[in-house]
Amino acid sequence: MKRVILFRTEHSPRVFVKELEFVTAAGKPELVITSKAVLAPGPDGLLELKSWHPGETAESVRAATGFDLAVRRDALETRAPSVRELAALREQVYPEMAAGFPEFVAAVSRR
């Protein structure tokens, strides 16, 4: 089964607006991962805060969102990737992504 996970390097009210005129994403995303947090659809289909990245808080993410972002009861700080996950990113994912997204891969590879 294929999963749809969206990545946004910008998390701002300009990107996460209160109202949409139309949706252009293919499929229903299971997760939306941004530079500040991980969002997931709630029971009503609207995005909710699942976790915030180190250096952020639930409130800082909500302040950077253009709509009233609900916070899940079990929301917490995003855990750091394991050594195995980092190796998979560096050895498998980044090389595959480099052809289509060279600037993104270059930026995240420096981290």
Is 5 a residue whose pLDDT tops 90?
A: no
The 10s digit of each residue's pLDDT in 56-67 is 999 999 999 999
* For residues 69-80, average pLDDT: 97
| Chain segment 30-52, per-residue pLDDT in tens | 999 999 999 999 999 899 999 99
For residues 81 and 28, give the distance between their C-alpha atoms in angstroms, rounded to a whole number: 25
User: In this structure, what token pair is assigned to residue 22?
Assistant: 């139309």
- Residue 39 tokens read as 């969002």
User: CA-to-CA distance for 44 and 37, rounded, in angstroms?
Assistant: 20
Which residue do the tokens 């915030």 mark? Answer: 52
Half-sphere CA count of 87, side-chain side, radius 13 A: 3
The predicted pLDDT at position 26 comes to: 67
